[in-house]
Amino acid sequence: MKKIEAIIRSSRLEAVKEALGKYNIHGMTVTHVLGCGLQRGQTEYYRGNLYTINLLPKVKLEIISLDNRVEEIVAIICREARTGEISDGKIFIYPVETAIRIRTGEQGDEAI
């Protein structure tokens, strides 16, 4: 099993969720986060004063997947989240030792 962690633009969340749903991928955790990368924030004027906003709002998706579906999931996220501009996000993939469904006690592949 693998954990896919994708940090994407908030505006692309619905498109990514819909695309994953079409491929029967429904289990995910969504967290609203703040961060910065290459863009290092942005500078804006507010009431005549210049402000630098270093942390931009993003969405973090966490999906636990069987090893054989990781490439498919990553391809879907990349396709749907990409705008071609700086700040599209990042994807990280981690090994997962095991999973346990609390309600039934199922473990491993059966739990996801």
Q: 3-state DSSP: the chain helix, strand, coil percent, rounded to 5?
A: 30, 40, 35
pLDDT tens digits, 55-67: 889 999 999 999 9
**Quick check: 6 and 89 in contact, CB under 8 A?**
yes
pLDDT tens digits, 13-37: 999 999 999 999 989 999 999 887 7
* Residue 103 predicted with pLDDT over 70: yes
- Residue 106: pLDDT band with limits 50, 70, 90: very high
* Residue 101 predicted with pLDDT over 70: yes
Q: How many CB atoms lie within 10 A of CB 83?
A: 12
Residue ranges of E strands in 25-98: 29-35, 42-46, 49-53, 56-65, 89-95
**Three-state secondary-structure class, residue 13:** helix
For residue 49, the model assigns a pLDDT of 78
Q: Which CATH number characterizes residue 76's domain?
A: 3.30.70.120
- The residue range of the domain holding 14 is 2-111
If one counts the domains in the chain, the total is 1
